Amino acid sequence: MNDQKVMFRTGLKDSIAIVAGFIPACFTFGLVGKGLGLGSLEVFLLSALVFAGASQFIGVKMLAAGAAAPVILLLTLIINLRYLFISLSFGGQLNRNISVLARTWIGFSLTEEVYAVSMIPREEVNRKTENEKTNQPLALPYLLGLQIPPYVANLIATASGITLASYIPALYLPALNTSLYALLIALVVPQLKGSLRNMAICISAAGSSWLLNPLLGNSSILIAMLIGMAVGSLIKGQVKAEKGVSV
């Protein structure tokens, strides 16, 4: 077996854990999208074209609530700014021989999980000889093996969620929305433990959204997020100035 096949198979093996995590989340996304009253094609295309985790859920919720397209796009862009920094780090690890077309796919299908797994040193990845280890640039065959399965799993799981929702009586579909809130709570609560800064961010953002919603409607989410970010930055800057440590 040649090196490219070995690297591709290694990528496939490394993708198993990512796929296992994606399936329930994407399945839930399909259910939630239908529960919010969106069409099957709309939900599927959101999953296929956005492919960005939390912002998919927020986007589908705002779309169903009738939020303006510019607000949805801007909020999604801000939420996904983290990918700018991930991409800068990840891009420096790629083999220079990878084409622009291939880099486009790699960038589109890059997630935090893919980034984390690809940065783990492994003897079998990108080896050219028996003695070389993975300080080599990331090769295309490995990345294809690593990134294709999660994306395919995303599509299949979303379609499965949509299909199952089609068999649920319309009267009960709105109840599926609670799974979205449960998911968001599960993401937020662990970050609050032992961190006054994170608690301040959460309280200021939630409070701002609640206060501004009667005036701004769904646009209040964007303003609230910016307020939460500002509060977090102020607290971090003050602590660093007073104690010389980060929080």
SS3 (DSSP) at 168: coil
Q: Which residue has the higher pLDDT, 236 or 121?
A: 236
Output the pLDDT for position 167. Answer: 85
Handedness of CA 89, 92, 93, 95 (dihedral sign): positive
In a domain, 214, yes or no: yes
One domain for residues 89 and 26:
yes
Q: Based on the domain organization, do 61 and 137 belong to the same domain?
A: yes
Residue 96 shares a structural domain with residue 133: yes
Query: Does the residue 187 lie in any domain?
Result: no
Q: Say whether both 234 and 150 belong to one domain.
A: no
Say yes or no: 202 and 163 in one domain.
no
* pLDDT at residue 222 greater than cutoff 50: yes
Cα(47)–Cα(127) distance, rounded to whole angstroms?
34
Instruction: Answer whether residue 221 is part of any domain.
Output: yes
Contacts (Cβ under 8 Å, ≥6 apart) of 149: 12, 15, 16, 18, 19
Residue 179: inside a domain, yes or no?
Answer: no
Would you say residue 83 lies in a domain? yes
Both 165 and 200 in a single domain?
no
Instruction: Identify whether residues 146 and 201 lie together within a single domain.
Output: no
Residue 121, SS3 per DSSP? coil
Please choose, from the candidates 203, 246, 196, the residue with its C-alpha nearest in 3D space to the C-alpha of residue 227: 203
Residue 150 included in any domain: yes
Same domain, 30 and 102: yes
| Tens digit of each residue's pLDDT (9 = 90 or more) over 8-60 | 999 999 999 889 888 888 898 898 888 888 889 989 998 998 888 777 887 88
- Residue 156, pLDDT score: 97
Residue 1 is predicted with a pLDDT of 55
Average pLDDT for the chain: 80
Domain boundaries, position 214: 194-243
Single pTM value for the model: 0.68
Please give the residue that has the higher pLDDT: either 160 or 119. 160
72 in any annotated domain: yes
Question: What per-residue confidence (pLDDT) applies to 163?
Answer: 94
If asked whether residues 72 and 156 sit together in one domain, one would say yes
180 in any annotated domain: no
Residue 134 pLDDT more than 90? no
Domain identity same for 211 and 111? no
Amino acid at 5: K
Share of the chain above pLDDT 70, in %: 82
List the one residue out of 222, 205, 210 whose CA is nearest residue 71.
222
Residue where a domain stops, chosen among 174, 203, 227: 174
Residue 159 shares a structural domain with residue 208: no
Q: Give the highest mean pLDDT range of 77-91, 134-148, 163-177, 225-239.
A: 134-148
Domain count, the chain: 2
Mean pLDDT for the stretch of residues 213-235: 81
Q: How does 171-209 read in b/e, with b if 16+ C-beta sit within 10 Å?
A: eebeebbebbeebeeeeeeeeeeeeebbebbbebbeebb
pLDDT of residue 113: 84
Report the percentage of the chain scoring pLDDT > 90: 20
Question: Is there a single domain that holds both residue 146 and residue 198?
Answer: no
